Amino acid sequence: MTPIEVDLLIEARWVIPVEPDNTTLEHHSVAIRDGKIVEVLPTSDARTRFSARETAQLPNHILIPGLVNLHCHAAMTLMRGLADDLPLMRWLQEAIWPTEARHVSPAFVRDGSLLAGAEMLRGGITTCNDMYFFPEATAEAFDRLGLRAVLGITVLEFPSQYAADADDYLHKGLAAHDAWRDHPYIRFALAPHAPYTVSNRTFERVGALADELDLPIHIHVHETATEISDSLREHGQRPIARLDALGLLGPNLIGVHAVHLDNEDIQRLALHGCAVAHCPTSNMKLASGAAPIPALLERGITVGLGSDGAASNNRLDLFREMHQASLLAKLSSSDASSVPAHHALHMATLAGARALGLDAQIGSLLPGKAADICAIQMDEADELPCFDPVSHLVYVLGRRSVSDVWVAGEARVAGGKLLQITNTELLSTVRLWQNKFRQ
């Protein structure tokens, strides 16, 4: 039989396809052609079945789908460590919002997004769901790096360096959406910031636009207890009930944080098929609380993982989020079996893709899907022995173990090094903005 020609054959010690669930394939390979997965099969068979233009031999590696960061503020990476050890509203009002008022610009967003995108790719993240000002600048940065992204059309009622009011935010965001409409990796979402910063009128318009353009809705919701009490006082409803009354809840809604939920809130999210972006490290660092993830999963709600911004988390690291999500679920539920390692990996890959409506394209290693792939090297003594590679991914290894990353079959990281931008350029950019902040 004549071998089938492919562009790339990746041979690995283990392949974790995520679909089917709880599957670990040993000594398997992934064949790739035209940016898509052709087949996942034993390496011994792959060597006779395929003729590859390029072969990547990874004998001590775990191969997984590229990670999906379901909630991020990429440009805020330039404010990493600017204000720590503060609760959410003090952190926003005393540090973040004043800094943004002085410095946010297209250049700020482009440079911050370059820094963030580089960090994410180096850590195995191939898709980012972002929410920030000047989304066209983020698109430029992510396009240069080759990172897949869904960019939020951010909406607020109050003015910023980016827009004057809610209508202006929507006008500018929709213009960016139209300008990048045909890009293979860049998509958009409607991103009303939060119930406490967006009016009923604007929410209704966002809902209509999401239906008209078939876009996800990406929104912070139920992040703090104060948010709930303020909503009850001002609107006579909890925020999720208010969104329900306004017609915002649905399969295209991604509720970020969703920490303070009662049974009725969870019932509404489940009834409407909403998804949740769980950001455990940011929630813990800002003392916002622990989201009831076991209860959400029990009701069949899709829960993906997000890093939030590096200004509140300090790292855009989904390996840490997998680790924290699993441990926090066990602690908060007093159930050691809650969010086992395989499910934590599912949250960081396929669940995030499903929340974005991209699960037919990414999130697992199946034939026909885009070859968004992350390879993790495991050959150091302090990483061994390994009895279960998925357990190691969540409880032992970290992003520094990522060796290679591909997006649609194109290399983005090789041998631990970024291919699209130099560390020297990134360091120069960081120092420039740090000096501006100090001035």
pLDDT tens digits, 40-58:
999 999 999 999 999 999 9
Residues in the chain: 439
Q: Where are the domains of the chain?
A: 4-64+371-418, 67-355
Estimate to the nearest angstrom the gap between the alpha carbon of 277 and the chain centroid.
8
CATH number of 67-355: 3.20.20.140
Q: What is the DSSP string of 260-288?
A: S--HHHHHHHHHTT-EEEE-HHHHHHTT-
**Is the bond preceding 20 in cis, omega lying within 30 degrees of 0?**
yes
Determine if the pTM surpasses 0.95. Answer: yes
User: Before 385, cis peptide (omega within 30)?
Assistant: yes
Give the pLDDT confidence score for residue 145 in this predicted structure: 98
How confident is the model at residue 232, as a pLDDT?
98
The Cα–Cα gap between 307 and 256 comes to 11
- Name the token pair of 414: 């090789």
Q: Distance between CA atoms of 311 and 79, rounded to whole angstroms?
A: 5
pLDDT of residue 439: 74
pLDDT at 410: 98
CA angle in degrees (0–180, nearest 5) for 143-278-324: 105
Summarised one tens digit per residue, pLDDT across range 290-304 is 999 999 999 999 999
Which residue's entry shows tokens 């992204």?
149
Identical topology for domains 4-64+371-418 and 67-355: no
* pLDDT attached to residue 424: 96
What is the token pair recorded at 257?
């944080």
**Is-contact 250 272, C-beta < 8 A?**
yes
Handedness of CA 199, 200, 204, 205 (dihedral sign): negative
Give the pLDDT of residue 96: 84
Dist. CA 326–CA 56, nearest whole Å? 32
240: three-class secondary structure by DSSP: helix
Please, are residues 399 and 124 in contact by the beta-carbon 8 Å criterion? Answer: yes
| pLDDT beyond 80 at 227 | yes
In the block, residue with structure tokens 């049974």? 263
At residue 258's C-alpha, the angle toward residues 279 and 237, to 5°, is: 155
Q: How far apart, in whole angstroms, are the C-alpha atoms of residue 156 and residue 197?
A: 6
Q: How far is CA 68 from CA 157, 291, 306, 349, in A?
A: 29, 19, 8, 5
Q: Above 80 in pLDDT, residue 88?
A: no
User: Maximum Cα–Cα distance for the chain, whole Å?
Assistant: 73
In whole angstroms, what is the distance from residue 75 CA to residue 79 CA? 8
CA atoms within a 13 Å half-sphere pointing along the CA-CB vector of 288: 30
Confidence grade of residue 98 (pLDDT, cut at 50, 70, 90): confident
Q: Looking at residue 87, what DSSP letter applies?
A: -
Superfamily of domain 4-64+371-418: Urease, subunit C, domain 1 (2.30.40.10)
pLDDT digits (tens, 9 = 90+) for 104-124: 999 999 999 999 999 999 999
404: how many CB neighbours lie within 10 A of its CB? 23
pLDDT of 1 above 80: no
Take residue 225 and report the two structure tokens written for it: 């207890």
